[in-house]
Structure 1
Amino acid sequence: MSNELLVGNSTQYLTHKENQRFRGISSQNITAILPAYNEEVSIGSLVLLTKLYVDNVIVVDDGSTDRTAEVARKAGAEVVAHQTNKGKAEALKTGFKTAADLGADIIVTMDANGQHNPADIPKLVVPIIKGNAEMVNGSRYLNYPDKNAPIYCRIGQTMQGNAVKMNFDLKITDSQSGFRAFAASTKNIFRFSGKKIAIENEMLADAGRSGVRITEVEIGAFKPSETLTRNPVKYITGALKAVGEDMEANRPLYFYSVPGFALATCGFYMGFKLLETVFLGSASLNFGHTFLMVFLSLAGAYMTLRGIVAHSMAGATRQSESV
Structure 2
Amino acid sequence: MVLGARQHALRVIVVDDGSRDKTAELAKLAGAQVLVHPQNLGKGAALKTGFQAAKDSDIIITMDSDGQHEADEIPRLLEPLLKGDADVVNGSRYLNGNGDHETPAYRRVGQNVLDTATNISGKINVTDSQSGFRAFAGHTIPLFRFHSHDYTIESEMLIEAAKAGLRIVEVEISATYGEETHHKKNPISHGVSVLVRILQDMEFNRPLYYFTFPGLILVFVGMILGLKFFGEYLGGQMTTLLPTTLAALITILGTFMAFTGLILHSVSRMIWRVMGK
Q: For each residue in 1:242-293, what CA deviation from the matched residue of structure 2 results, as whole angstroms up to 9, or x when unmatched?
A: 5565355233321332122221343245446656776x68466526514632
- Count of residues paired in the alignment: 269
For the 8 Å contact 1:196–1:245, the answer to whether it is kept is no
Distance change in 2, residues 1:259/1:238 (3 Å): farther
Does 2:171 align with 1:217? yes
Q: Report the residue type matching 1:267 in the other structure.
A: G
Does 2:143 align with 1:186? no
Distance change in 2, residues 1:151/1:184 (3 Å): same
- 1:180 deviates by 0.3
Structure 1 portions without partners, runs of 5+: 1-45, 228-233
- 1:197 deviates by 8.2
For the 8 Å contact 1:248–1:256, the answer to whether it is kept is no
TM-score by length of 1: 0.68
Q: Report the residue type matching 1:178 in the other structure.
A: G
- 1:118 deviates by 1.2
- 1:120 deviates by 1.1
Distance change in 2, residues 1:237/1:68 (3 Å): closer
Q: Report the residue type matching 1:169 in the other structure.
A: K
1:111-260 correspondence runs (5 A): 111-146=64-99, 148-149=101-102, 152-194=106-148, 198-224=152-178, 226=180, 242=194, 245-250=197-202, 251-260=206-215
Q: Percent identity?
A: 41
Q: Which moved more, 1:139-148 or 1:172-181?
A: 139-148
1:108 corresponds to which of 61, 64, 71: 61
2:50 corresponds to which of 95, 102, 122: 95
For the 8 Å contact 1:145–1:154, the answer to whether it is kept is no
Q: Which moved more, 1:301-310 or 1:131-140?
A: 301-310
2-structure distance, mates of 1:151, 1:65: 31
For the 8 Å contact 1:133–1:213, the answer to whether it is kept is yes
Larger Rg: 1
Does 2:219 align with 1:264? yes
Q: For each residue in 1:176-219, what CA deviation from the matched residue of structure 2 results, as whole angstroms up to 9, or x when unmatched?
A: 11100010100122221127982111111111122212212222
For the 8 Å contact 1:197–1:245, the answer to whether it is kept is no
Where 2:95 maps in the other structure, the secondary structure is coil
Counterpart of 1:72 in structure 2 is 27
For the 8 Å contact 1:161–1:173, the answer to whether it is kept is yes
Distance change in 2, residues 1:271/1:208 (3 Å): same
1-structure distance, mates of 2:197, 2:267: 17
TM-score by length of 2: 0.78
Distance change in 2, residues 1:152/1:169 (3 Å): same
Distance change in 2, residues 1:91/1:237 (3 Å): closer
By relative contact order (CA 8 Å, sep 6+), the higher-ranking structure is 2
